Structure 1
């Protein structure tokens, strides 16, 4: 059952340019698929939803950081002088760079579309189970299109689901982005209407949907002309999350411990386990980018440095924080987040022989069987972000007192000070939200979107200063392989 659903999702390759997918996967060919064999029982719907989140997790394993973090000018190439990380860090992106291929997002959209198409025809013992399956599909589709719309602007809008390579519309054109945002908005509404109450850590819940809703309406308020009404909607959604029974953990570093990943601050995470380290040279998520080169593990150990003092990755160190971001993270000795996120090395052996002087240790995983295991779950949403979204929404409505109070909920956990922020004006609240986010969400894929949402990208991202006149400079090009496979896709204007 599962392999057939995945095969159906892969049909979108004809649009997006995934090559040789049937050479790599032992799956049923698309022409052999029939809805009659796939969508008969409740268990088929459950399997389809699980498969949907497997695809979403795979998409976000790298994409969440590439699309949401690396363009924020807070990172640079690590001890390997990698051309891609140099380009994305300076906002000069080429058409075949990582992140330009939208294939994985559209695979996930296709899986959601098939659920929305077929699950209503399945007989369920409890109608709430059908509603939950549909709510998950609406939520995931909205989330994927939210990434697509913000990353590429105009893009294909697909809502039917592909089950045969002979279907119509296999070669769509780019749809105006306004239509994508309209679908996102309606999908969020439907997801909230259908989702039963309760919490689920690895699938959608009312709180997770409201996090997306708050984020989307903040984007609508500031980037789409939604104004005060959209700020008010975002504020209500953030308040619904805050009132849903989650809590900020007393100790910030405890949030990310691999033995504590079911804690009550996480709203939605993508799980990773020890057994997913397939080989010593690979990792299932992007967290390996930040660690010391794997080839230096033996030398480090021989010189007395333990595996958790200088964590080594599964390959070379691709990414480090910039000097400026390093100094910012360690600028306040009372703030526990900097030292818990970043480790600086001054020992001559490490800085001269291993060529590592800083490592993001926030998601360093575990040391198991003499190898690094990347078993940190990836957080998509957690409660601290709900408070900062609330501050952003209240600030947009000129409610400085509410915004400041929400900011202080996050700041006092980190610094032990009840009212760290006082006497702020509107500009001061925006600056505080950005600074708190830079401390709170290291490597969580949030900062690029925040700069855009607050319209500060051309002011605060140094590699974008003075580039306001460049066409679509904050969007991404489409990978050449997508255009080669579907010549009806036009390249993002400004990248031709």
Structure 2
């Protein structure tokens, strides 16, 4: 990062966003009635370095979201996690027990809108900046549109109807800040418009510079498949949307992507940006704090643990706040290579429960740093989305599912070969395959809702079939106090 980019990043984070609804360090504080900054937009948005600095600031916001919140919104309320027994619950039990309410609502949407505001600033000002290359400018704008589509997709799956803000907030104005919740139809119309615009701006279907820590056209196509699969099932998009999702998956397949031969290699710290990764939010040791895997490890090691195993675990300052449930562990067979690459069970479980392998970062001088990249999309996910969309329109999903199982079961594959069945049976198989393949990657809650299976599978919801509003998160009382035009999620 150049000195100018670092200066630009500092300006973006410290200066321009003071008046926004929350930020990296102030997401839980009330609005200042008259925010000011000595750095103005008129003095900032001048050069290509300013634009790159602003884009870097956006990715910093995305990384902040990925460290914990994306997992909470995308997986924590599913059947995957339970109390870790070695520490307190850190209030995470409100997620897997599904006891959320307006006073205990989980992470607010303020951090997402802070990142959306970064997108809006880029979209407002970057088109007016002179660049050495027109394509360089288009690529920055394309990333902002893609990020905004992704962020609104997170909002819509988490809260349903949400306010739409497409203009940057550059000062405190009630007319700009106070917005009512827009309909899901309008939110997804914006998401799809942003995807379409971004698609026209990327130069090609590649990963420039070999990095997969930025939004690219393959990442956009993965997002597009995800969005259209959701609207095909949840917003009556039907066959039209499913066909769009399939074609988007096909476009991803034409990029420089492939399943790695060995599942466990995917998550090795020294194998970041491998060919299976399509989009991952980057982390580095000594650069950022711990991510959500930190609370799946403990500083307390059993007395009878051998030194080699102790070195594998490493020392941390955390506690096992939550761990994987037996319900999920028992669905892995011993022949499935994804089992040991996802979690390890210890003989001394009384002292140390199941160890989560995915996302455990790196061990440096015996100390574990939880700085694995947060994988947003990888090729196995895209293959399973394609299988799901094909099944939804009556096509045979065997090819895609068996690519996943071939890698998972290796020499035992023939015992686990998938055979096409009824659409309902296929859906059940695909949903389970997504669990085995993507567990702990922030996908499961949204998968359950897309398949309409949350109230059937999640133990804490099985007796609450009538409470369908629980599909969404409540709005916190704090947000309601700051945004008077926003109404509480129906049912809460």
Find the residue that maps to 1:307 and give its secondary structure: helix
Supply the distance in 2 between the matched residues of 1:313 and 1:360 (Cα, whole angstroms): 14
Supply the distance in 2 between the matched residues of 1:430 and 1:75 (Cα, whole angstroms): 23
1:58 aligns to what? 64
Find the residue that maps to 1:76 and give its secondary structure: strand
Q: Match for 1:118 among 125, 130, 133?
A: 125
Q: Match for 2:274 among 253, 256, 263?
A: 263
Q: Is the 8 A contact 2:84 2:353 kept in 1?
A: no
1:406 aligns to what? 400
Q: Match for 1:415 among 409, 416, 435?
A: 409
Is 1:73 aligned to residue 99 of structure 2?
no
Find the residue that maps to 1:70 and give its secondary structure: coil
Q: Match for 1:275 among 286, 289, 303?
A: 286
Q: Is the 8 A contact 1:404 1:424 kept in 2?
A: no
Q: Is the 8 A contact 2:277 2:379 kept in 1?
A: yes
Q: What is the correspondence of 1:188-267 to structure 2 with a 5 Å cutoff? A: 188-197=195-204, 198-199=206-207, 200-267=211-278
Supply the distance in 2 between the matched residues of 1:166 and 1:32 (Cα, whole angstroms): 18
Supply the distance in 2 between the matched residues of 1:119 and 1:301 (Cα, whole angstroms): 59
Q: Is the 8 A contact 1:221 1:230 kept in 2?
A: yes
1:385 aligns to what? 381
Shift of 1:309: 4.1
Q: Is the 8 A contact 2:361 2:369 kept in 1?
A: yes
Supply the distance in 2 between the matched residues of 1:97 and 1:3 (Cα, whole angstroms): 33
1:446 aligns to what? 443
Shift of 1:108: 0.3
Q: Match for 2:455 among 430, 453, 458?
A: 458
Is 1:91 aligned to residue 94 of structure 2?
no
Q: Is the 8 A contact 1:15 1:482 kept in 2?
A: no
TM-score in terms of structure 2 length: 0.91
Q: Match for 1:136 among 138, 143, 163?
A: 143
Count the aligned residue pairs: 473
| CA deviations over 1:67-121 (Å, ceiling 9, x no partner) | 1111111211112241622221122212244634111100000000000011111
2:326 aligns to what? 323
| CA deviations over 1:227-271 (Å, ceiling 9, x no partner) | 000000000001111121211111110111001112111111111
Supply the distance in 1 between the matched residues of 2:220 and 2:137 (Cα, whole angstroms): 17
Supply the distance in 2 between the matched residues of 1:263 and 1:184 (Cα, whole angstroms): 28
Q: Mean alpha-carbon deviation: is it higher for 215-224 or for 450-459?
A: 450-459
Supply the distance in 1 between the matched residues of 2:145 and 2:304 (Cα, whole angstroms): 49
Shift of 1:368: 1.2
2:358 aligns to what? 362
Q: Is the 8 A contact 1:222 1:455 kept in 2?
A: no
When residues 47 and 437 of structure 1 are mapped into structure 2, their CA distance, relative to the original with a 3 A threshold, is same
Supply the distance in 2 between the matched residues of 1:86 and 1:15 (Cα, whole angstroms): 26
Supply the distance in 2 between the matched residues of 1:314 and 1:37 (Cα, whole angstroms): 44
| CA deviations over 1:292-335 (Å, ceiling 9, x no partner) | x22x25x6598635334445543111111111112113xx2211
Shift of 1:396: 0.8
Q: Is the 8 A contact 2:18 2:37 kept in 1?
A: no
| CA deviations over 1:338-366 (Å, ceiling 9, x no partner) | 1111111123xxx34x3x22121222222
1:18 aligns to what? 27
When residues 20 and 248 of structure 1 are mapped into structure 2, their CA distance, relative to the original with a 3 A threshold, is same
Shift of 1:471: 5.1
1:280 aligns to what? none
Is 1:493 aligned to residue 490 of structure 2?
yes
- Structure 2: state its 5+ residue gaps: 1-7
1:46 aligns to what? 52
1:37 aligns to what? 43
Q: Is the 8 A contact 2:16 2:41 kept in 1?
A: no
Q: Is the 8 A contact 1:138 1:188 kept in 2?
A: yes
When residues 10 and 268 of structure 1 are mapped into structure 2, their CA distance, relative to the original with a 3 A threshold, is farther
Find the residue that maps to 1:268 and give its secondary structure: strand
Find the residue that maps to 2:400 and give its secondary structure: helix
Find the residue that maps to 2:272 and give its secondary structure: coil
Q: Is the 8 A contact 1:65 1:286 kept in 2?
A: yes
Q: Mean alpha-carbon deviation: is it higher for 462-471 or for 314-323?
A: 462-471
- Structure 1: state its 5+ residue gaps: 24-28, 278-282
Shift of 1:10: 4.6
1:184 aligns to what? 191
Is 1:424 aligned to residue 421 of structure 2?
yes
Q: Is the 8 A contact 1:9 1:108 kept in 2?
A: no
Supply the distance in 2 between the matched residues of 1:55 and 1:491 (Cα, whole angstroms): 26
Is 1:161 aligned to residue 172 of structure 2?
no
RMSD: 2.3
When residues 312 and 290 of structure 1 are mapped into structure 2, their CA distance, relative to the original with a 3 A threshold, is farther
Q: Is the 8 A contact 1:15 1:170 kept in 2?
A: no
Shift of 1:399: 0.2
Q: Is the 8 A contact 1:188 1:209 kept in 2?
A: yes
When residues 75 and 373 of structure 1 are mapped into structure 2, their CA distance, relative to the original with a 3 A threshold, is same
Supply the distance in 2 between the matched residues of 1:289 and 1:129 (Cα, whole angstroms): 40
Find the residue that maps to 1:32 and give its secondary structure: coil
